[in-house]
Amino acid sequence: MKKVKILAFVTAVIAAVLLYNFLNSLDEKTSVEVVKTGVLTASINIPPNTTITAEMVEISEIPAEAAHKEAVLNEAAAVGKFSKYEITAGEQVLSTKLISPEGGGGDGTLAYEIKPGMRAVSIGVGNLSGLVGMIKPKNTVDIIAQFQRPEKQPDGEEKVIDYTTMLAENIIVLAVDDVLSQEGKIINPETGLAYTSVTLQVTTAQAMELSMAEYKGQLRLILRSPLDDGIVAPKTIKFDDIIIN
């Protein structure tokens, strides 16, 4: 009986020691190493369509797991670009919220595809004038205009003269109908047309000339090689010039 009491006492002591050690271990602070990374954040509130300057952003150290996958990691990748949306102070600057000054980088909105200083204008096309559906966004084209003009002849009579002139060269196609992607648009099996309008990136003066030429005559697009950006500037020709030559 005495041995049983001694064994019970030893067991109780051991249990008490183990409990004491366990309770002490709960009080010990666990040291966890936090891995940080640097991301670009806004130092002030940045309104939409604002040019990003170095004073507007700063590098902030944050836990790596908190860094957004689209976060910009250095100033050089953001300074000089435009904010597409508002970026609040302290917010991570995301690449998807920035637009290049050269245009592009938008969210499917045509306005962000236009280079600063340029304009977008749409013209109607058919199978022939639109190259039978082969034009796709980002292609470059030349535009010729064909029109008639009555002119007085040496004998005093008026004669209608047919003209063809190069209206613009090396023009970027922004969209076909409402499609901006480079895959273009599928031909409509009912009409046989891929698109009925083409949107072009032009200067203000070119937009006015295209509008007038489309109103008074007919326009036709000429597809260019992406490797050729030369300007030919051919002279305007008359139908009589072709007959004579």
Does 68 lie in the same domain as 127? Answer: no
Alpha carbon 192 to chain centroid distance? 30
Does 228 lie in the same domain as 136? Answer: yes
User: Domain containing 69 — which CATH number?
Assistant: 3.90.1210.10
Residues contacting 229, CB < 8 A, separation 6+: 140, 170
Can you spell out the DSSP letters for 16-85? Answer: HHHHHHHHHHHHSPPP-PPPEEEEEEESS-B-TT-B--GGGEEEEEEEGGGS-TTB--SGGGTTTSEESS
Does 128 lie in the same domain as 83? Answer: no
Identify the pLDDT of residue 98.
Answer: 87
CA–CA separation, 83 vs 99, rounded Å? Answer: 6
Does 122 lie in the same domain as 78? Answer: no
Residues contacting 79, CB < 8 A, separation 6+: 52, 53, 54, 57
Does 169 lie in the same domain as 85? Answer: no
Dihedrals phi, psi of 133, to nearest 5 degrees: 75, 10
- 123 in a structural domain: yes
Model confidence band, residue 132 (pLDDT cutoffs 50, 70, 90): confident
- 12 in a structural domain: no
Q: Which amino acid is at 17?
A: V
Identify the pLDDT of residue 35.
Answer: 85
Identify the pLDDT of residue 128.
Answer: 77
Residues contacting 193, CB < 8 A, separation 6+: 126, 127, 130, 133, 187
Does 240 lie in the same domain as 191? Answer: yes
pLDDT over 90, % of the chain: 44
Residues contacting 219, CB < 8 A, separation 6+: 123, 125, 129, 143, 144, 145, 146, 167, 210, 213
- 197 in a structural domain: yes
- Average pLDDT (218-236) is 92
CA–CA separation, 8 vs 6, rounded Å? Answer: 5
Per the structure, the count of domains in the chain is 2
Confidence (pTM): 0.65
- Note the pLDDT tens digit of each residue in 70-110: 999 999 989 988 888 899 999 999 988 888 776 555 556 78
- Note the pLDDT tens digit of each residue in 4-46: 556 565 566 666 666 666 666 655 555 567 788 999 999 999 9
Structural domain span for residue 218: 116-244
- 129 in a structural domain: yes
Alpha carbon 135 to chain centroid distance? 19
Mean pLDDT of the chain: 84
